């Protein structure tokens, strides 16, 4: 079955620490990959997306993600987190453009000031 | 920046009652979706809708569920006879030209 797994349920970092959140998807051919963020009390917002081309994609707020096809991974990174990055982060994949998104279970990030 | 909106933000209903959840997608978007998230679980796809018909639906989307675009702006999800297990956060999303999906703030449905 098509699935997405996120390695960590809860990550706690201090400000200025580097962040890497893992995401793996099950094999299913061509994929479109997304990271969404949900700040406390707000809705899901698109951080970045990958459809094709350069496997290193840059998103908003200094986030980036790297698609590694051989590892079925799309990890999210940020070199230096801020307290305002405290949120829940969701990885999602679709196996056809415009098709349903399959979500991971989410990773809660807490950044200590 | 245009956003997807949803009403109500919270709906409480009795088991067996019908509920209609409303969404206003971003105005130039053509593809519409409903997802739900039961507390503590993953966000799950329910249905996608394009050109006034369902494009894809999940196993969850049984005969109790229906979707409609009654006018040029609203997109609704109806649950005909709610069950306790329908309690969840329901998210509407829309996209333009089958690119990224943009989500609304969600409606929290509580079935008593």
Q: Tell me: the pLDDT tens digits for B78-94? A: 999 999 999 999 999 99
Q: What is the pLDDT of residues B10-49, one digit of tens each?
A: 999 999 999 999 999 999 898 999 999 999 899 999 999 9
Residue B98 pLDDT > 80: no
Q: What is the pLDDT of residues A7-60, one digit of tens each?
A: 899 999 999 999 999 999 997 678 899 999 999 888 899 999 998 899 999 999
Burial class (CB in 10 A: 0-12, 13-18, 19+), B5: middle
Q: Are strands B43-50 and B31-37 parallel, antiparallel or unpaired?
A: antiparallel
B106 touches chain A (CB under 8 A): yes
Residue B97 pLDDT > 80: no
- Between residues 61 and 90 of chain B, which touch chain A (CB distance below 8 Å)? none
B31 touches chain A (CB under 8 A): yes
Contact B41 A103 (CB under 8 A): no
Q: Count the Cβ atoms, other than its own, within 10 Å of residue A98.
A: 20
Report pLDDT for B74.
Answer: 93
> Which of B45, B91, B100 comes nearest A49 by C-beta?
B100
Q: Which of A44, A50, A88, A103 to mutate to test the interface with B (most CBs of B within 10 A)?
A: A44
DSSP bridge pairs for B44: B36
B99 touches chain A (CB under 8 A): yes
- Chain B residues near residue A43 by CB distance under 8 angstroms: 4, 91, 103-106
Report pLDDT for A46.
Answer: 93
How far is residue A110 from each of residues A17, A23, B68, B98, measured CA to CA in Å?
A: 12, 18, 39, 33
Q: Count the Cβ atoms, other than its own, within 10 Å of residue A108.
A: 14
- Chain A residues near residue B56 by CB distance under 8 angstroms: 99-100
- A-B CB pairs within 8 A amount to 53
B100 falls in which pLDDT band (50, 70, 90)?
confident
Residue A80 pLDDT > 90: yes
Contact A97 B99 (CB under 8 A): yes
Share of chain A above pLDDT 70, in %: 99
Residue B72 pLDDT > 90: no
């Amino acid at each position: 079955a098509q699935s997405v797994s996120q390695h960590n349920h809860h990550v706690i970092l201090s400000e200025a620490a580097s962040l890497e959140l893992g995401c793996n998807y099950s094999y299913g051919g061509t994929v479109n990959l997304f990271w969404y963020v949900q700040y406390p009390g707000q809705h899901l917002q698109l951080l970045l997306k990958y459809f094709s081309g350069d496997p290193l994609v840059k998103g908003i707020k200094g986030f980036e993600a790297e698609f590694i096809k051989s590892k079925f991974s799309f990890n999210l990174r940020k070199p230096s987190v801020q307290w305002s990055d405290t949120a829940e982060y969701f990885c999602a994949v679709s196996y056809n453009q415009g098709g349903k998104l399959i979500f991971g279970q989410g990773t809660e990030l807490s950044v200590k000031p | 920046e245009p956003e997807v909106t949803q009403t109500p933000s919270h709906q409480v209903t009795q088991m067996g009652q019908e509920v209609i959840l409303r969404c206003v997608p971003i105005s130039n978007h053509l593809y519409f979706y409903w997802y739900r998230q039961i507390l503590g679980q993953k966000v799950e796809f329910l249905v996608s809708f394009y050109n006034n018909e369902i494009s894809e639906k999940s196993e969850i989307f049984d005969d109790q569920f229906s979707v409609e675009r009654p006018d040029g702006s609203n997109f609704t999800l109806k649950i005909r006879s709610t069950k306790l297990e329908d309690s969840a956060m329901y998210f509407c999303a829309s996209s333009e030209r089958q690119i990224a999906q943009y989500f609304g703030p969600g409606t929290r449905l509580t079935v008593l």
